[in-house]
Structures are given as structure tokens and as C-alpha cells.
Amino acid sequence: MANERLRDALLRKGLTNEHVAKSMGVDPKTVERWITKGRTPYPRHRRTIAAMLRESESYLWPDSVSDERRAEVAESELIQMYPHRNSIPVDVWDRLIRDSADTVEILVHAALFLVERPTFIKDLRRKAENGARIRLLFGDPHSDEIELRSAEEQLGAGTLGGRIRDALAFYRPVKDVDGIEMRLHRTTLYNSIFRFDDEMIVNTHIYGFQGAYAPALHLRQLSAGGLFEIYSESFESVWAQSTPANVWE
């Protein structure tokens, strides 16, 4: 079976089989077999390719890492656990937003705290203009799911939907910027996800509490790990069933 994840990752990075082969001192036909026949490279080659593509080994070759090894690495992927999102130091957010260059992925309901940062929208525009891929997922303010969450968080009818509309208003200046995609989702949001390159903040959600007061995990992606990848795949699942955010039309 072909390895479509490897094929797609190479295409996104603009890398040819010949380039990869030359980097690792193997024949281009070997690289072709890794892609078209799903052959699994030696561990040293997997590590090299994963680093080159900024993907994890467990994503590119799900069966190559044992469950025991994944569990060990997952412990190292957790940098810090915070009792609630509001306790994450400001300088952590500053660094993540400032230093990310390739990937920004955000899955939230509204996340008004982000646009309260004076330069956040300008930072997104600058990153997109420099080649970063930015994908933003917000809750659909008109959905039943948002109304239910508003009630569960004891916010009152229509409150969360109003917050989402308020947040989206800040993004109007970048709605047509190449490299920035914004969509709306109607999923049950178990976690808010804030990915900046190979680091991620995962804000868990607890019934009856607003996200700011729920625990948060600070993760860093490791090649053989699976914890970071689980949340990344969750983002992809929501993205696949979301719709374009045309709220400004």
C-alpha cells in the first residue's frame, strides 16, 4: 500500500525523490519504494526524513513505533501542564506567536484573548506573507452546538455566539490574505488547540467551566512521539468537516 502521508508531506515541502535520496545517500528508487509500495525505511532514515519534513515518525509510519516506545516519548513531549489556561505565562504565548514561521493552526470557539493582543492580527499577516500556512477554526455562532456550550458554561443564551462574532470581527483585515484560511465548525469541542510549528497548547474543556479556567498542556513534537500527533490529527478531522467562514459577506 502506498504511503500517502509521506507523498503528501514531500509535495508540500516541494521535495523530489532525488533530493531526498541525495540527502541520505540512497538510490532514488529506494525513496520511490518508500512512497509507492509503503516500504518502511531504516530508523536512521526515518529520523532524517521526519526532521526534513517537520513531521513525526509516528505520523509518517504509524506502525514503525511500538506502543511502549510511544508511551515513553509521550512523556517527553509534555513540556508543562498548567492548572488552567490563564496561568500560562505571557512570555510563553509571546514566544510561540513570535517565533513560529511555518505552521499556525488554531481550533477554538472564540479565543478572544488572542485578538486582545495588540499585534496578533498583524503577526498573522506577516507570517502568511513570509510563507507560513495559517488555518483558523472557530465555532459556528449560529449552531445549536454553540448554544448548548453557552448553556453548559453558564454564560447565558446567545453569549458564546456573540463572543465568536466579536472575535471574528478582528479578523476581517486578513480574510483575503493568501496563506490564511478561516473556517467554522459545529463539532463538540473537547479541546482548544493552538499549534505554532512544533509546539502546541492544548486547552482541555470541563463541563461547567469556561476554557480560561480549565487545564492546559504545553507540548513539543518529537519524531517518535504520538501525543502531539493525536491532537494534530484531531484538528485535521475538524477541519475536514468545517465550512468557509463567510461571516463578513
**Domains of the chain as residue ranges with CATH:** 4-64 (1.10.260.40), 73-244 (3.30.870.10)
| Reported confidence tier of residue 134, pLDDT bands at 50, 70, 90 | very high
In 132-245, the DSSP E strands lie at: 133-139, 180-185, 191-196, 199-204, 216-220, 243-244
In the chain, the DSSP E strands lie at: 78-82, 103-107, 133-139, 180-185, 191-196, 199-204, 216-220, 243-244
The chain-wide mean pLDDT, for the chain, equals 87
13-71 pLDDT, tens digit each: 888 888 888 888 888 888 888 888 888 888 888 888 888 887 877 778 877 766 666 66
Q: For residue 239, what pLDDT is reported? A: 96
Q: For residue 103, what pLDDT is reported? A: 94
Q: What amino acid is encoded at 96 in this protein?
A: L
CA distance linking residue 191 with residue 199, whole number of Å: 16
* Average pLDDT over every residue of 179-188: 94
Please tell me the pTM assigned to this model.
0.75
Q: For residue 31, what pLDDT is reported? A: 85
| Spatial contact of 133 and 103, defined as CB atoms under 8 Å apart | yes
200-232 pLDDT, tens digit each: 999 999 888 888 899 999 998 876 667 888 899
CA distance linking residue 178 with residue 61, whole number of Å: 31
| Reported confidence tier of residue 249, pLDDT bands at 50, 70, 90 | low
CA distance linking residue 232 with residue 218, whole number of Å: 13
